[in-house]
Amino acid sequence: MKALVTGGAGFIGSHLSDRLIQLGHEVLIVDNFYSGKKENLNPKAKLYEVDITDFEKLKDVFEKEKPEIVFHLAAQSYVSISTKKPMEDARINVIGSVNLIHLSKEYNVKKLIYSNSGGASYGNPLYMPIDEKHSINPVCQYGISKHTVEHYLYLYNYNYGLKYTSLRYANIYGPRQDPYGEGGVVAIFTNCLLKNQRPTIFGDGSQIRDYCFVQDVVDANIWAMSNGDNDFFNVGTGAGTSTQKVFDAIKNELGLNLEVIYAPERVGDAKACVLDSNKLQSNGWKPKYNFEQGIKETIAYFKSIIK
């Protein structure tokens, strides 16, 4: 099958591209390197250096390649940017996504699989773990822009028959995650500690997140190729871990005695998020990695690239 992966040079997108190629699919990558890295690219994939907000250039890709399935992972994913530059956040996450959805309809794509943010979309939880029936109350512009796309997906299925699956992610971590962004504390903490630097925790470290390993997320995307039509699913472990415990786990694994620096909380950060993924698990997906395994693989990766 010919698969188009937006954000295929990014953290999750590159792992997904690798798996698709391993499974024998032809992979097209659309990435403008907003946050993706060329070293993440699989040499067997065909790259189009295109911004998803450029409708005409994106249309040229669809016209030339006519992909059968689209995995949409490209996004502006920083909460702080979304709060300071909401227009930019909406331009990329909403307009870029509508471009992709509309072209998928126009060129008869069999299915679009969308990478959404569970934590940012749900906002501060009314209960945990959060299931798909929980209200959508984002506390940051990023959460609004990411969730808005689901309404377009519903509309394009209802009016035009475009099949989709939306995957609402917990906090994803693993090899290739950017250690210099504002999110991805596992990568940030690991990178700092391996360089004998003290990382920063925004808040007191009690914030709770559901940490899901990147290969489990790839499994969910592969599952969605032939399952979960026209529906949305949480992708998470159902286990909550505090930011402080993440730091302590990495520090202990490395055998270090460095302490963290505490800073004020950031605007737009939810206090807690643990996702109930029973809906997805009852349909055949299961997380294979526990937190300890994932931490070991992530540390091994960063050790291999830090000189």
State the Cα–Cα distance between residues 238 and 273, nearest whole angstrom.
Answer: 9
3 contacts 45 by C-beta, under 8 angstroms = no
What DSSP letter does each residue of 237-292 carry, written as one string? -S--EEHHHHHHHHHHHHT----PEEEPPPTT--SEE-B--HHHHTTT------HH
**Active-site entry in 48, 114, 142, 152:** 142
DSSP letters spanning 56-101: HHHHHHHHHH--SEEEE------HHHHHH-HHHHHIIIIIHHHHHH
Closest CA to 275 of 140, 113, 125: 125
Strand order in the sheet with 2-6: 46-48, 26-30, 2-6, 69-72, 111-117, 164-169, 231-235
Cα→Cα distances 296→39, 173, 249, 254, 293, Å? 22, 12, 10, 10, 5
Whether residue 5 contacts residue 30, with contact meaning beta carbons closer than 8 Å, is answered with: yes
The burial class, CB within 10 Å (0-12 / 13-18 / 19+), for 51 is: middle
For 28, 256, 293, 307, the CA distances from 194, given in Å and listed in that order, are 35, 9, 18, 10
Q: Does 142 qualify as catalytic in the annotation? A: yes
Q: Catalytic residue numbers?
A: 142
